[in-house]
Amino acid sequence: MAIKTTSLHVLAGHGPFPRPSWAKRILTMLSVRRSRQALAHLGDEQLRDVGLTREQAADEIARPIWDVPTNWRR
């Protein structure tokens, strides 16, 4: 039976795939908030231009700021 070990620098977020810093996460959340606020002010024609319905926009606006796509978390 092999024992898998993980060095502390990997757990700390260093290495080939570092974990985002708290500052970067906060900036991302604030950016998401601004984008969703801007989405709330778009008219129906503008929403159609970006391929969204009013209901889809409302669903996106209602999401919490930490709820972002997985690929944004890298």
Kindly give the confidence (pLDDT) of every residue in the chain, 74 residues in length, as a single tens digit, with 9 standing for 90 and above: 444 444 444 444 555 556 668 888 888 889 999 999 999 999 999 999 999 999 999 999 999 888 877 766 65
Which structural domain, as residue segments, surrounds residue 39?
Answer: 19-68
pTM of the model: 0.61
| 49, part of any domain | yes
Residue at 2 is within a domain: no
Is position 34 within any domain? yes
C-alpha dist (Å) from residue 47 to 2, 19, 35, 41, 60: 55, 34, 13, 10, 12
Contacts of 19 (CB under 8 A, 6+ apart): 13
Total domain count, the chain: 1
* Whole-number pLDDT of residue 37: 94
Cα dihedral across residues 60, 64, 69, 71: positive or negative: positive
Residue 25 counted as domain residue: yes
